[in-house]
Amino acid sequence: MGLQPLATAIEGLLYRSRIVNRIGPLHMFLLVERARLANQAEGITGQLIYLDHSFMEYLEGPVAALDALWRNLRQDPRHYDVELLARFPLTQRRCASWPLMFSSNAYFQQYQMTGFSTVQPGDMDALLEDCLLRQQAAAAAQPPARFECLEHRGESGQRLSNNPVYKIEGIAGLSTARIDVVNLPLVVPAPSAHRSTDLSTG
């Protein structure tokens, strides 16, 4: 069986911010529901914590979708002091069941919002610690290889071969590896970390 591209990589992201204006139950309900619809469309899951006029939000999903969402969050005028606390690769989701869980103090419990759970300030500290540990572990580990399927096309756009070629990145000691499922692999060594010394006298 031929080499296959890896599944879409997912990452986790944790940030905190301060809200501009106090958020009431109805406003919060609308905010969460809209975020859930948007997250579901992009394959993003996570948890939003609202305590003491502050947000802490954990998000996870495909890298490109997470990048786009993070850009939007930083530009959202409803909060300020937006601080990225951690970002790291994931092998599995921790919030797979919900596009966005919502957690706050017991006051919101009376409104029976779906996906709601009560939370204490200590829970925010525990979430932060967990994400920081995941980030540290990911930084210490070797990054996984990434596979990208390439196509050979001519100047006019016609496909030159039906044989898929895969570009592989993230292999220790290699900058790029290209593997044709029919032909031998062509490997491009990574640039040396040591400078070469010219011993010629001429």
pLDDT averaged per 10 residues, the chain (length 202)? 54 94 88 94 94 93 95 94 94 88 90 89 88 87 59 58 54 44 42 41 41
Q: Are residues 182 and 97 in the same domain?
A: no
Structural domain boundaries, residue 152: 146-189
Q: Are residues 131 and 178 in the same domain?
A: no
Nearest to 32 by CA among 135, 110, 113: 113
Q: Is residue 177 assigned to a domain?
A: yes
Q: Are residues 83 and 41 in the same domain?
A: yes
**In the prediction, which pLDDT does 175 show?**
44
Nearest to 31 by CA among 50, 8, 7, 16: 50
**In the prediction, which pLDDT does 150 show?**
58
CA dist list (Å): 129 to 6, 122, 123, 124? 29, 11, 10, 9
Q: Are residues 174 and 158 in the same domain?
A: yes
Alpha carbon 17 to chain centroid, angstroms: 19
CA pair distance 134, 140, nearest whole angstrom:
10
Q: Are residues 88 and 167 in the same domain?
A: no
**In the prediction, which pLDDT does 199 show?**
37
pTM of the model: 0.65
**In the prediction, which pLDDT does 50 show?**
93
**In the prediction, which pLDDT does 179 show?**
44
Q: Are residues 168 and 68 in the same domain?
A: no
Q: Are residues 57 and 99 in the same domain?
A: yes
Q: Is residue 35 assigned to a domain?
A: yes
Q: Is residue 201 assigned to a domain?
A: no
What is the count of structural domains for the chain?
A: 2
Instruction: Extract the tokens encoding 28.
Output: 């919060």
CA pair distance 130, 83, nearest whole angstrom:
17
Work out the burial of residue 172: count CB atoms within 10 Å of its CB; fewer than 13 is exposed, 13-18 middle, 19 or more buried: exposed
**In the prediction, which pLDDT does 7 show?**
56
**In the prediction, which pLDDT does 80 show?**
94
